Amino acid sequence: MDDTRLHRLTPQEIDAVCALARTVWQATYPALISQAQIDAMLADRYAADRIRSQLDDPNHAWWIARRGQATVGFAHAVRDGVRCKLDKLYVDTGHQRQGIGAALLQAVQEWARQQQGRRLWLQVNRGNTQAVAAYLKYGFGITESRVFDIGHGFVMDDHVMELPL
């Protein structure tokens, strides 16, 4: 983690986040959801205009992790009343298990506490056993498991997990 820098995302870095999202999703999700759903979710959640508008919204916060010139991870959180949602946390597959995800999660937790959040919550695909195990390791507990209809004939089969702050 020594040479990894974490900071709040700037508009100039949005394209790098979108590119990393595509890389990580293509390495993670084809065994869990269809390519059509991957493409639809990437197009929706990583549209540059959407991220840009979130950067200007005080209820949203984005972080980026960089090593040298390479983008190696990112996180996004949303204030949701007395809870904050960890909406996205991804680390490049070649840089996982090096403390980057933990550092991003720490930044999100600090931000959530500053927002007077009492709980941090997230949704994670039930089949993403590596991510589920990581979140359990960091103190999250599974509060429910269900299928969420996200439109266009797609669903997310997720655990909802929470961490008291």
Strands 60-67 and 70-80: antiparallel
Q: What is the pLDDT of residue 1?
A: 55
Residue of 120, 123, 90, 84 whose CA lies nearest to 104? 90
Tracing tokens 């269900």 back to the chain, one arrives at: 146
Q: Note whether residue 121 is domain-resident.
A: no
Q: How many domains does the chain have?
A: 1
Q: Note whether residue 70 is domain-resident.
A: yes
Q: Note whether residue 137 is domain-resident.
A: no
- pLDDT tens figures, 3-31: 899 999 999 999 999 999 999 999 999 99
- pLDDT tens figures, 41-51: 999 999 999 99
Q: Note whether residue 151 is domain-resident.
A: no
Q: Note whether residue 59 is domain-resident.
A: yes
- Residue 159: C-alpha distances to residues 20, 85, 113, 136 (Å): 24, 13, 23, 11
Q: Note whether residue 89 is domain-resident.
A: yes
Q: Note whether residue 126 is domain-resident.
A: no
> Which of the four pLDDT bands, split at 50, 70 and 90, describes residue 82?
confident
- On whether the CB atoms of residues 75 and 21 are closer than 8 A, the answer is no
The DSSP H or E segment spanning 74 is strand 70-80
Distance CA 34, CA 160 (A): 21
| Residue 146 clears pLDDT 90, i.e. is over it | yes
Proportion of the chain above pLDDT 90, given as a percent: 95
| Residue 103 clears pLDDT 60, i.e. is over it | yes
| Residue 2 clears pLDDT 90, i.e. is over it | no
Mean pLDDT on 124-128 = 96
- pLDDT tens figures, 53-70: 999 999 999 999 999 889
- On whether the CB atoms of residues 9 and 66 are closer than 8 A, the answer is no
**What is the domain extent for residue 20?**
4-116
- CA torsion 4-39-25-45 (nearest 10°) is 50
CATH number of the domain encompassing residue 55:
3.40.630.30
Describe the crossing of helices 14-28 and 35-45 by its angle, rounded to 10 degrees. Answer: 160
Mean pLDDT on 81-85 = 91
| Residue 127 clears pLDDT 80, i.e. is over it | yes
Q: Note whether residue 140 is domain-resident.
A: no
